[in-house]
Amino acid sequence: MDKNYADLKKEAYRLRKDLGLSYNEIRRKLNSSVAKSTLSTWLKDIVLKPGHKERLYTKRIEVLSRGSQSQKERRSREIDKIITKAENQIRTPISKEAYRLMGAALYWAEGSKYNMFEITNSDPHLILFFVRWVEKIFGLPPKNLKARLNIYPQQDEAKIKKFWSKLTGIPIGSFGKSYVKPISKGYKRNNLYYGTMRVEVPKSVNMKHQVFGWINTTLKDISPEVDFVRTKWQSLKINKKLVNLI
């Protein structure tokens, strides 16, 4: 056994016998990669003092009682690290081209495909991004936009309008009639404290087509593959009207 290893064993023995530390605590104190199985072999003959036994037992119970909460906290820290690393991978300010495509992709996912140029969502970040995006890309300020709310009967319509108006800059006078959902006995897990906001861009059908032109350009590489597979599966379109069998 080399001198360093012998010193580690000697110090581990002292920490266990004199202080009654657990194997994990000893490993941290030694700042070493000595395995717990190795410590168990080194220290198996030590008889812990009653006070030390009581402390380790109490500590073990605390760990067991925290269990899932401890795992949840650890996972939360892991997620924070992932997000921070990802944030550092994006250079700001974002170029106008990237900004244009980000808004187009957002509209592709959340925007109306059949009516005017409009988007509906409950996320304040998403709504404000869309309003600012319309202003930067198309030159339309918030005062030129229209809005509508989708809320629950128990919510304060006037206050929610003030919230969205303050956030987006769309005048309260530009809000149309709100849709109030009928009372339901169903349980909804997500509380939409601000209701759902629909932002409408007046006289904007051409803008919508323009956005889908940008999307088409980004999909050029995969469009032929999609068209090929669609052609092979034309039979799926035979039943034009889907029927709810439930």
133 falls in which pLDDT band (50, 70, 90)? very high
What is the distance between the alpha carbons of residues 36 and 26, in angstroms, rounded to a whole number? 9
Q: Highest mean pLDDT: which of 27-31, 38-42, 83-87, 155-159? A: 155-159
What does the domain layout of the chain look like in residue ranges?
3-87, 96-221
Among candidate residues 49, 43, 45, the one with its CA nearest the CA of residue 20: 49
Please, which contacts does 10-18 make with residues 24 or more away whose CB atoms are closer than 8 Å?
12/39, 12/42, 12/43, 13/42, 13/43, 13/46, 16/43, 16/46, 16/48, 17/46
Residue 28, Cβ neighbours under 10 Å: how many?
11
Question: CA-CA distance, 123 to 184, in Å (whole number)?
Answer: 23
- Structural contact between residues 164 and 158, judged by C-beta atoms closer than 8 angstroms: no
Tell me the three state secondary structure of residue 197.
strand
**The pLDDT of residue 1:** 46
pLDDT top residue among 190 and 95: 95
What the block records as the tokens of 10 is: 């000697």
| Average pLDDT rounded to a whole number, residues 124-148 | 97
- Residue 16: count other Cβ atoms within 10 Å of its Cβ: 20
User: Residues 87-121: pLDDT tens digits?
Assistant: 889 988 999 999 999 999 999 999 999 888 999 99
93 cis-preceded (ω within 30 degrees of 0)? yes
The pLDDT, as a whole number, for residue 76 is: 85
Q: CB of 122 within 8 A of CB of 196?
A: yes
Tell which wins on pLDDT, 132 or 2. 132
> What's the whole-model pTM score?
0.67
- The C-alpha atoms of residue 170 and residue 164 are separated, in whole angstroms, by 8
Handedness of CA 29, 30, 32, 35 (dihedral sign): negative
Q: Which residues of 153-185 are buried (b: 16+ CB within 10 A; e: fewer)?
A: eebeeeebbebbbebbebeeebbeebeeeeeee
41 pLDDT more than 90: no
